[in-house]
Structure 1
Amino acid sequence: MNQYSGLKNALIAFCLLLSILYALPNIFGSDLAVQVSSAGGKLVTESDLDKITDTLKSKDVNYKSVALSNRHILVRFDNNASQLSAKDILKTSLGRNYVVALNLAPSVPLWLSNLGGKAMSLGLDLRGGVHFLLEVDMYAVMAVSIDKHYNELRTLLRAERLYKSIKKEGERIVIRLKTVDTRAKALKIIKSELSDLVVLETNNQDKLMIYLAISNNAQKNAKKNALKQNITTLRNRVDELGVAEPIIQQQGLERIVVQLPGVQDTARAKEILGAVATLEFRLVDERNDPQTAIQSGRMPIGSKLYYFKDGRPLLLKNRVIATGENITGAASGVDDRSAPMVNITLDSIGGRAMLDTTKKYLKHRMAVVFIENKVETIIKNGKTIKKRTTTKDIINAATIEGVFSSRFQITGIDSGREARNLALLLRAGSLSTPIEIIEERTIGPSLGADNIEKGVLSVIIGFMLVLIFMAMRYRVFGLVANIALTLNLAMIVAVLSLLQATLTLPGIAGIVLTVGMAVDANVLIFERIKEELGSNSDIQKAISSGYDKALLTIADANITTLIAALVLFSFGTGPIKGFAITLSIGIITSMFTAIIVSRAIINKIYGGKKHQELSI
């Protein structure tokens, strides 16, 4: 009695050893680091690594180590001064084709890292940085959608000369027809060409009037797409800030959370997040040489000089074929030859302009220009002024291979990753609708370190008090519970590390609460064993009955708490989710350690042996 099989003991030991192994990365701490990655679609190379090391050595900046991965270069430092100095130097020397970001790099040994060991991801309140809560103007979304449908409808009906007048009234479009006979024809055109519009039933019996509104499904899709496009755009904007691990995610139906670890300049962050960008499609001037234009200083009539990000010049025609406002979709993929490409979808206005252009200029090149307007706050002569700058970069120039209109492909792209980046730029060239910052918080790095110190201290104090109480109250059984509690803490840390769940202050609170709750199961078991000993002199039966009879009560208590934690996770936001995650993990691991692990240890001490009394 009270003995587990060898296989069961081996499985328990394996789970515990695995937990300890994957909890280990968190004891090694982190290094101050600077992360360098490419701003384009290409990977960093050994030549970039050599350039960085040579630059730092020439400027006498001491660094701890430098390493190259497939996506970035990580330079580690011993102190904050060297880190900040290196960031400024590398940002200046490498130029705008690279993103230079401050980072905290875990000091996990190579052997442990090769086994998949990672330290827990720390939230903004533990690392320091800025937090923004942005609200998307959904009224503007609907206004833009109404304008778009209004313009398309007017163009379609004008071609058939069906309406006398057409105007917008709030969220409705009102059409006055020329004759009653044209009503059926107008409705047929609307149904076939603009399926997102629905005819409103009104008390007005005038057959010359048609009242239209955007359908509920179309409204939902417009709001959803606007939110997604703004999130994509904001991710692209954050690259300009040089943030290593930003968090940009949807919150609710109308809001976006932006967290920028390591950033302390909120003014700069707000200027970047609110910058306005757009795209333009222009024909390439095939007849004139850009180098000749540069040397002479005179541009050919009807053309203007533009540059790629790498500095290559190209002459483009002044006439704009379509802009980013005409793009309704962009997705990367591969063509028939397995070469990377980007599928573009334009609205009806852009499609017609593209059709006319491609018919006339087949086999000519067409360029995509990314234009961004930025606002920067500077101090000049003691006064704060707004400095507005505009950057215009060619991101692609491909040959027109066939006649197309609203749907076409951009080819001639070097890699699949570059195609994905291009699709992102096309989709996220500009914010699809205005956003407003409704909440702003700044957490300093010293405050983040202080939060970590106090959070760890609270866990240690709570942990030690529980250990002392259990050892004094239940003696040997209390020591067994303490071992189980220690292993439970290791399992929580291991699971958080493996899931890479972001640990925040509320998450630490969840761990502290779990530490207190974890021994509840052992208290119930031990008190039940005491009751059994009072009515039954058989020690083995008392142990067995104590665990078996307390199991249902323990399960009920933990399951109800787990349901509450899952509800918090489902309906909560931000800090509440962090608390719910650690609490849920703690409940599951505490049931394993308190019931199974503690019994395995008790079985080793008392199982199958004759004892006169229990130390409980």
Structure 2
Amino acid sequence: MLNISMPKQILIWGTVVIGLLFAMPNAFYTRVETHNDAVAVIDSGQTNATLDADAAQWPSVLPSGLVNLGLDLRGGAHLLVEVALEEVHGSYLEGFWPEVRDTLAAERDAVGFVTRDDSPADELRVRISQVDGAARALELVRGLGRPVTSLTGAAGSNLDVSINGPVLTIKLSEAEQVAMNDRTMAQTLEIVRRRIDEAGTREPTIQRQGTDRVLIQVPGVGSAQEVIDLIGTTAQLTFNSVLGSTSDPAQSPGTGNILAPDAENEGLFYILEKRAVVTGEDLENAQLDFDQNGSPAVAFRFNTTAARKFGDYTLENIGSPFAIVLDGEVISAPRIQSHIPGGSGIITGNFTVEEATNLAILLRAGALPAPLTVLEERTVGPELGQDSIDAGKVACIVAGIAILVFMVLSYGLFGVFANIALIINVGLIFGLLSIIGATLTLPGIAGIVLTIGMAVDANVIIFERIREELKTAKGAARAIELGYEKALSSIIDANITTFITAVILFVIGSGPVSGFAVTLGFGIVTSVFTAIFVTRSLIVIWFARARPKTIEV
């Protein structure tokens, strides 16, 4: 008997309604996008009449998820940058020198005096005055090594130490270099992602490429230079004691000190203690603020440990200058007026609102572990993106109309049912994409166009099976029922193989290939659902009302 129970009907059409409800915001893209941006700002604690008006452009009770437009549809910036991993190795060895010096100095009777020789950046060369103590020195320095924290070198040391006469040569082991490179790349990806996300951009693509490169694609940005300015700054913030100032850049600051230029006054240099009191890594938050004169500034707050250290220092050094150093330049050197116990403060300077906002973003995201070199930059204009969207719309419309006409001419009323299911199918695809917040690119549009063509395949198989069953004169209802039953295995087999291909493309591929795989995979799922359930439900509803004695497919 051709029938679908009421609970199944409710489940089928409930799924359709929910899917189309999630797809609906894409029909009002600009309004919903404005609403989402306003809500995000309001949730961060800011509010005003304009934000409230923007948030009211879309009802909060309705879904507001959108299919994000990729770089080729929205326009934006494309960058390929290289991470200077060698500098990370050199920085590690530079920081390792005091530990080596102190360890060997504790055994001065055995190894003599310890000095450092000039060496390449990837080596640390240490000279001892007593050649007879070479073996002991080698033993001591090797003892400073630590196990490599990676699967490939778990049993090895992070140091490769050798000695030639009185000179020790210290390098990072190969296993440690690989592990350090992986850590540096992971940290770089995370910091770049945080900086771009905090700047309010939508759905950036940030991927590691090869050993030392990062691909960055940011939709909706006016130029690649904006992204370079945001991610290219290392933003290493330190708070150092001021020992004096000078106008002579060649003056020696003394052992354990550094010479840092003033960011605003050219020709002025500060002599600072090299060891920072606290650093930007201790920051808990940084945000745009304004000083007592109404000028843009950056308010900051330290974590508990650093706040205590910062408070103790200010208590002991009231009246002394205190330097705020950003990327090697002193941006401010105020005198400590009083004890600052809360670990909060404000960075002032000749900032614009945009400069202060970007500095706060950089400080919150943290310092890059290594400098970045831009190898390739490209800006995709929004006009080109709009042309791509228009071309995609035309392709979808042409393909859709051709299939709608073909189905009606080939299968009559049953073709109309298939066409209704096809329209629902496209809506469900966008509903699924909106739910997961997927990014739609040109290859993704190609996947949707391909799905439109494939979506009627299942209906064609079913309708042809019904035609065959009608020849046996078993009655219209029985023919429809048998047509669906016998076509089911063929439909599932054909779509499973395509779905497996889509999964492989998604897992192995990246970028455009992955976008194509997502839309293709979702299209397969929705087309099978609409063909087996939605089309059959429409036929059952029609058949129950019309009660035809014969049918023509």
Q: Does 1:425 align with 2:386?
A: no
Structure 1 residue 595 displacement after superposition: 1.0
Is residue 528 of structure 2 the alignment partner of residue 580 of structure 1? no
1:136 paired residue number: 83
- Report the equivalent of 2:213: 255
Could you tell me which amino acid in structure 1 is paired with residue 76 of structure 2? G
Determine if contact 1:23/1:490 at 8 Å carries over to the other structure. yes
1:499 maps onto 2:454 in alignment: no
- Match of residue 369 from structure 1: 324
1:5 and 2:5 matched? yes
SS at match of 2:2: coil
The 1:210–1:427 alpha-carbon spacing in structure 2 relative to 1, beyond 3 Å, is farther
Whole-Å separation in 1 of the counterparts to 2:89 and 2:315: 37
- CA distance in structure 2 between the aligned counterparts of 1:108 and 1:576, rounded to whole angstroms: 37
Q: Distance in 1 between matches of 2:39 and 2:410?
A: 57
Distance 2:148 2:550 in 1: 87
- Report the CA distance shift for 1:486/1:279 in structure 2 as closer, same or farther (over 3 A): same
- Aligned with residue 484 of structure 1, among 421, 445, 448: 421
The answer to whether the Cα contact below 8 Å between 2:458 and 2:531 also exists between their aligned partners in 1 is: yes
Question: Which amino acid letter does the alignment assign opposite residue 366 of structure 2?
Answer: A
- When the two chains are superposed, the root-mean-square deviation of aligned CA atoms in Å is 5.0
Aligned partner of 1:156 in structure 2 is: 103
Deviation at 1:214, TM superposition (A): 3.3
Whether contact under 8 Å (1:282, 1:318) holds in the other structure is no
* Residue among 504, 512, 519 paired with 1:567: 504
Tell me if structure 1 keeps the 8 A contact 2:506–2:517: yes
Q: C-alpha distance in 2, partners of 1:445/1:516?
A: 29
Aligned to 1:322: 275
Write the distance in 2 (CA, Å) between the matches of 1:217 and 1:510.
Answer: 43
TM-score (norm 2): 0.72
Aligned partner of 2:466 in structure 1 is 529
Distance across 1 between alignment mates of 2:322 and 2:486: 75
1:117-149 CA deviation, whole Å, 9 max, x = no partner? Answer: 333221222222222122323343334334444
Counterpart position of 1:445: 382
Q: What do residues 591-615 of structure 1 show as CA deviations (whole Å, max 9, x unaligned)?
A: 1111111111122233699654322
- 1:298-317 equivalences in 2 (<5 Å): none
Other-structure match for 1:230: 188
Q: What is the match of residue 288 of structure 1?
A: none
Residues 271, 502 of structure 1: CA spacing in aligned structure 2 closer, same or farther, 3 A cutoff? same
* Contact in 2 for aligned 1:279/1:323 (Cα 8 Å): no
Match of 1:56 in 2: none
Mapped to 1, the partners of 2:387 and 2:361 lie a distance apart of 42
Distance 1:211 1:552, change over 3 A: farther
**SS of alignment partner, residue 236 of structure 2:** strand
Paired residues for 1:499-518 under 5 Å: 499-518=436-455
- Say whether the 8 Å CA contact 1:566–1:584 is kept in structure 2: yes
Equivalence for 1:188: 143
1:544 equivalenced with 2:481 (yes/no):
yes
- The aligned length equals 489
- The answer to whether structure 1 residue 245 and structure 2 residue 245 are counterparts is no
* Distance in 2, Cα, partners of 1:118 & 1:132: 28
Q: Residue 380 of structure 1 aligns with which residue?
A: none
**Counterpart residue number, 1:117:** 64
Q: Mapping of 1:444-483 within 5 angstroms?
A: 444-483=381-420
Q: Match for residue 392 of structure 1?
A: 331
Query: Which sections of structure 2, spanning at least 5 residues, go unmatched?
Result: 150-154, 244-259, 264-269, 286-300, 347-358
Structure 2: distance between partners of 1:543 and 1:37: 50
Letter of the structure 2 residue corresponding to residue 533 of structure 1? L
Q: Quote the Cα distance in structure 2 between the aligned partners of 1:522 and 1:599.
A: 10
Q: Percent of aligned pairs with the same residue?
A: 31
Secondary structure class of the residue paired with 2:235: strand
* Amino acid of the structure 1 residue aligned with 2:23: A
Provide Cα deviations, 1:167-192, integer angstroms capped at 9, x if missing partner. 76785667777243555444434459
Which range moves more in the overlay, 445-454 or 254-263?
A: 254-263
1:15-164 correspondence runs (5 A): 15-30=15-30, 43-46=45-48, 66-68=50-52, 109-111=57-59, 113-150=60-97, 152-161=99-108
CA contact (8 A) 1:331 1:343 kept: no
Do 2:281 and 2:366's aligned partners in 1 also have CA atoms closer than 8 Å? Answer: no
Q: 1:342 aligns with which of 290, 303, 326?
A: 303
* Larger proportion of strand: 1
Q: Distance in 2 between matches of 1:343 and 1:229?
A: 24
Unaligned 5+ runs, structure 1: 50-65, 75-106, 286-303, 308-316, 334-339, 346-353, 374-389, 402-409, 415-420
Alpha-carbon distance in 1 for matches of 2:148, 2:428: 59
Q: Which amino acid in 2 is paired with 1:10? A: I
Q: How far has the Cα of 1:8 moved from its partner?
A: 0.9
The whole-number CA distance in structure 1 between the counterparts of 2:65 and 2:331 is 41
How many angstroms apart in 2 are the aligned matches of 1:142 and 1:455?
48
Q: Quote the Cα distance in structure 1 between the aligned partners of 2:156 and 2:302.
A: 30
Residue type of the alignment partner of 1:153: V
**1:263 aligns to what SS in structure 2?**
coil
